[in-house]
Amino acid sequence: MILFNLLETQLTHIYSFQEMIKKASIYSHPLVHRLMDLKAQKENREADDDRKVVAEIMQRCFVPAFVTAISWEGFHFVGHEIRITEAMDCYGAIVWPSALVLCYFLETNVKQYNMVDKNVIEIGAGTGLVSIVASLLGAHVTATDLPELLGNLQYNISQNTKMKCKHLPQVKELSWGVALDKNFPKASSNFDYVLAADVVYAHPFLEELLITFDHLCKETTVILWVMKFRVGLQHTV
């Protein structure tokens, strides 16, 4: 099992490098200052790269130019316009920034993480945006979430993948750690990738999530998990 913990590019540093320099001013050796200058230059370059990525991701988002009967948000990925309907009364039915980061990652890393004909499952699929992008990239996708979210999830996936994808995505119920052997038997669960975007948000179900990861994975399964570290949410992975 390979675990990727991809930090969102929107995260900011608590302390600026300039503040660190001030705190380190007790060191007066020229080599120390040179090393600090090199580190500052590297961090500035990384910050510039982060801003460019954020700008590229935000360019993929758009809103309808006119009022429609059903409100939706628009996204451009894999050469397609994707329209997502959200439900504002539920955390799981909103497009979170981590989903955009994961979609961007999948699209821009197709050589390293080739989705074509791969068996992919998304846990906590929510609105289905990540599953839609994986489907458009050619994967066999199973999008999963809690039962109360499946209606909107199925609607979004159907609207955005019909006649556009090599393999028709499936939508299934999955409650972490519940009836895994019954609903996802090890013998028939042969997933190449497990996708997850911002599925942990200040709640106590991390253990159940890891149990679910373990159940769905074979030895060579790759987990692509994108999340934002939030103040007050303490866990290690």
Q: What pLDDT, in 10s, does the model give residues 102-142?
A: 999 999 999 999 999 999 999 999 999 999 999 999 999 99
Average model confidence (pLDDT) for the chain?
A: 80
Mean pLDDT, range 196-201, rounded to an integer: 86
Structure tokens that stand for 46 in this block: 């990384």
> What's the start-to-end Cα distance of the chain, in Å?
13
Residue 27, pLDDT > 60, answer: no
Report the distance separating Cα 83 and Cα 155, nearest Å. 11
Mean pLDDT, range 57-86, rounded to an integer: 83
Mean pLDDT, range 9-26, rounded to an integer: 41
Share of the chain above pLDDT 70, in %: 70
pLDDT classification of 32: cutoffs 50, 70, 90: low
- What is the reported pLDDT for 229? 67
- Dihedral (Cα; 79, 225, 124, 236), 10-degree rounding: -160
Residue 37 burial (10 A CB sphere; 0-12, 13-18, 19+): exposed
- What is the reported pLDDT for 35? 61
Report the distance separating Cα 19 and Cα 36, nearest Å. 12
The 3-state DSSP composition of the chain as helix, strand, coil percent (nearest 5) reads 40, 20, 45
- What is the reported pLDDT for 75? 94
Structure tokens that stand for 160 in this block: 């955005």
Residue 182, pLDDT > 50, answer: yes
Domains by residue range for the chain, with CATH: 87-226 (3.40.50.150)
Share of the chain above pLDDT 90, in %: 54
Tens digits of residue pLDDT in 143-169: 999 999 999 999 999 999 999 999 999
